Amino acid sequence: MTEENQTLITDFVLTGLTDHPWLQLSLFLVFLVIYLVTMVGNLGLMALIWKDPHLHTPMYLFLGGLAFADACTSTSVTPRKLVNFLDKTTIISLAECFTQFYFFAASATTECFLLVVMAYDRYVAICNSLLYPVVMSNRLCTQLISISYALGFLHPLIHVIVSLRLTFCRANIIHHFYCEILQLFKISCIDPSINVLIIFIFGAFIQISTLVTIIISYTRVLYDILKKKSEKRRSKAFSTCSAHLLSVSLYYGTLIFIYLRPASGLAEDQDKMYSLFYTIIIPLTNPFIYSLRNKEVIGAWERVTKK
């Protein structure tokens, strides 16, 4: 009977963002608009980069790869959440749970590696500008983007495979608005300490190593910018790097706070709010952060709309 009970629970209930039924429709409309704007912003930026030959440069190839990762991050979470706003049961199967986690973690990990190669691109462009066309060829850019995605989609596969050992025989309520893997571990009948340790080790290694690499790259970049005598060149360099630094700060700030903090560090409502930030808000804002003050992107948009 014990063995049978351990295999009974294969469906779980997501508590969502709120317990108030009267807010469900309003939240559905808000998040539907956010999702549509996110997809239009990211996919539109990708289409613009593909359409305009002036943007066929390393920096914009990386930006296109980042936009696709943001679109995947939003798509892995938001459509299911929209269904949950209208579906009173909010049930998700174990297979759906692992699938959602896999694609979310894959796109999030890919974004970490893409932010690193974007920082390396700015380092070469500013600190070794004469060698930039030789070092950062389009072929190398394509290889770096491919490696980032390969590592990104390999990383969560490890966690999914290790998580297959878990069984669920007691509670089936996940206190989150999507299948957050740490919340799933809390209701496992088998001790999930190994799974938590593996997530912490891989998360710490990927997030800290990529963040340190970005910091080192931009420390050197900022040092070289301050040495420039031309105010115009200095202003242009600062403008180019500021958008990337803002995106890095927002992304890593919330991601590290969620996955590298002590287990009891946040209340559930706070945990949801921080998760909402990096699953919904960052994919929404990234295309605008990189585009609104970018004269080349604005110029490309004007050329495309005139055609």
Domain count, the chain: 1
CB-CB contact of 151 with 111 (8 Å): no
Confidence (pTM) = 0.89
Across 4-29, average pLDDT: 78
Host domain of residue 213? 2-306
Structure confidence at residue 5 as a pLDDT band (50, 70, 90): very low
Q: What is the CATH number of the domain that holds 168?
A: 1.20.1070.10
Element (H, E) at 213: helix 193-227
Q: Is 43 exposed, middle or buried (0-12, 13-18, 19+ CB in 10 A)?
A: middle
Instruction: Tell me the per-residue pLDDT of 46-78, one tens digit each, with 9 for 90 and over.
Output: 999 998 888 888 989 999 999 999 999 999 999
β-bridge partners, 12: 92
